[in-house]
Structure 1
Amino acid sequence: MPHFKSQKNPRPYTPPKPLYEQVKAYVLKNMESGEWPAYFQLPSEHTLVREMGISRMTIHRALRELTQAGYLERVQGVGTFVAAPKKQPKILEIREIDDIIHSRDGRHQCDIHFLQAEAIEKGVAATIAMAPGEEVFRSYFVHRENGLPVMLEDRYVHPAFMPDYLSMDFSRVTADTYISRKYALLSHTHSIQAAVSNAEINHFLELEVTTACLVVNRKSWLGDDIISTVRLVFPGNRIQFT
């Protein structure tokens, strides 16, 4: 009986990349190394054909796909250039209020004015994709730094996604922390506006006079579903974002 020597951990077969992918890799390697910086004019297609030994059709496809992906810019009758680097959008990150306070060596306290189920009003229902009159969970908190009110939090939560919301002790953990721990893959949208305080804000934030405030409206999403919508009001003379 013939004896065959077995191979241990044979290297898996990796098929070679298509030629147009090899051309793209060659271009990107030159860009990443700095050999071809932004605005650099690439060699002509004829030159690349000669240097790489690949057909012009293949070269053309590779450059076209890199242009469509934003890596290159092609100017008719002039040539192909390395595209200018795209400016990355600045992502708004609003830290949780207890983190802001603790970073300043302050003491955070949350006053729970109400935490309840109620029928959602028509004007609010659309913001959380619910029908008017449906039961929604609502929380109304004031956050203090060393005893001074620095943020009013008026939040609506969809009961289907947070059924235990009303049983939580939000004097120990913020609502944002609790929601983010429950759903790690949340996304958020924000709108920010300047406003002056009204009687409600003056009362809960203990403002003696009408005060300029920053109002942040945030929606928290899980896929296509809205988990929470909240209005955060910061008196401008008491808190500063950095």
Structure 2
Amino acid sequence: MANRIHASDRLSRRRPTALYQQVKDYILAKIRTGQWSPETRVPSENTLIQQLGASKMTVNRALRELTAEGVLHRLQGVGTFVAQSKSPSTLLDVKPIAEEIAQRGGVHSCEIHRQTSETASPELAQALNVTAGARVFHVVLIHSDEAGPIQLEDRYVNPAVAPNFLEQDFTAITPSRYLLNELPVSEAEHVIEAIMPDKATRQLLAMGPNEPCLVLFRRTWSDNLVVTRSRFVHPASRYRMGGRFVPASPFHPMES
């Protein structure tokens, strides 16, 4: 049976590797070797606790982190399953912040600071592939979980691609989720930087005076048309970026 666990799989407290990481490594090994294929149901938390000899906290942390990393996905009331394999090109998903928060058990809220139509500057027009001076949509939002603000979203949208964008209630649906529902993403561009924020950004994100930010710049395309150019600013102490992919089959680096 695919989910059977043997006595030799029990965790070792003599190893320097943290116990929760041993649980993660065990699950990842099952996936990498093909024993657990995509959509295979992972053994229940109680089963892993009993058969790996781990605590509930240890197993829960391992499953939670692998879910946040996109290796597993959970269906409420059903169980935890191996996620579909991801290639390196999709290492950074276009995932709405509300869904990231919900995935780790938090509660999302949103404040709208700007939701308007503006004239595109030459630089912005080039990024969106529109004519300079054309009308573009602009939103500025603060996304929070129960602990406070975790993301400033500053997004420009091409009206020709998403004409009803400004009519949405972004306290009920995030811009990312709305656009993903309306348009398939054919291409995404990501750039990540660490910066020291200005005073206005620190105030919006309730940050201390010397705290840095992680900034994700993103452009997305649908059918060769630029849909949006976005800037997502996160307090470094409250947010982290990362990803993991599991190849469909083992691969080896190319020799030079």
When normalised by structure 1's length, the TM-score is 0.60
- Counterpart of 1:99 in structure 2 is 99
Equivalenced residues, count? 155
Letter in 2 for 1:91: T
2:119, 2:134 within 8 Å by CA — same for their partners in 1? yes
What is the Cα deviation at residue 118 of structure 1? 0.8
What is the Cα deviation at residue 116 of structure 1? 0.4
Question: Within 1, Cα distance between the matches of 2:207 and 2:173?
Answer: 26
2:211, 2:235 within 8 Å by CA — same for their partners in 1? yes
2:202, 2:209 within 8 Å by CA — same for their partners in 1? yes
Q: 1:123 to 1:162 in 2, by over 3 A?
A: same
- Counterpart of 1:163 in structure 2 is 163
- Higher RCO (Cα < 8 Å, 6 or more apart): 2
- Counterpart of 1:52 in structure 2 is none
Question: Within 1, Cα distance between the matches of 2:88 and 2:184?
Answer: 23
| 1:114 has 2:105 as partner | no
RMSD over equivalenced CA pairs, Å = 1.7
1:198, 1:210 within 8 Å by CA — same for their partners in 2? no
**Aligned pairs (5 A) from 1:1-242:** 89=88, 91-94=90-93, 95-146=95-146, 148-241=148-241
2:186, 2:224 within 8 Å by CA — same for their partners in 1? no
2:185, 2:220 within 8 Å by CA — same for their partners in 1? no
What is the Cα deviation at residue 223 of structure 1? 2.4
1:121, 1:133 within 8 Å by CA — same for their partners in 2? yes
| Segment drifting more, 159-168 vs 115-124 | 115-124
Question: Within 1, Cα distance between the matches of 2:180 and 2:89?
Answer: 22
What is the Cα deviation at residue 147 of structure 1? 5.4
Q: Which runs of 5+ in 1 are unaligned?
A: 1-87
Residue by residue, what CA displacement relative to the aligned partner does 1:99-126 show, whole Å, maximum 9, x if unpaired?
2211222110011111000111223221
Question: Within 2, Cα distance between the matches of 1:107 and 1:99?
Answer: 10
When normalised by structure 2's length, the TM-score is 0.57
Question: Within 1, Cα distance between the matches of 2:128 and 2:234?
Answer: 22
Q: 1:128 to 1:210 in 2, by over 3 A?
A: farther
What is the Cα deviation at residue 211 of structure 1? 1.7
Question: Within 2, Cα distance between the matches of 1:147 and 1:194?
Answer: 22
- Counterpart of 2:30 in structure 1 is none
What is the Cα deviation at residue 129 of structure 1? 1.1
Q: 1:101 to 1:165 in 2, by over 3 A?
A: same
What is the Cα deviation at residue 227 of structure 1? 0.7
1:180, 1:186 within 8 Å by CA — same for their partners in 2? no
What is the Cα deviation at residue 177 of structure 1? 0.7
Question: Within 1, Cα distance between the matches of 2:239 and 2:103?
Answer: 13
2:184, 2:222 within 8 Å by CA — same for their partners in 1? no
Provide the secondary structure at the position in 1 that maps to 2:90. Answer: coil
Q: Which runs of 5+ in 2 are unaligned?
A: 1-86, 243-256
Question: Within 2, Cα distance between the matches of 1:166 and 1:147?
Answer: 28
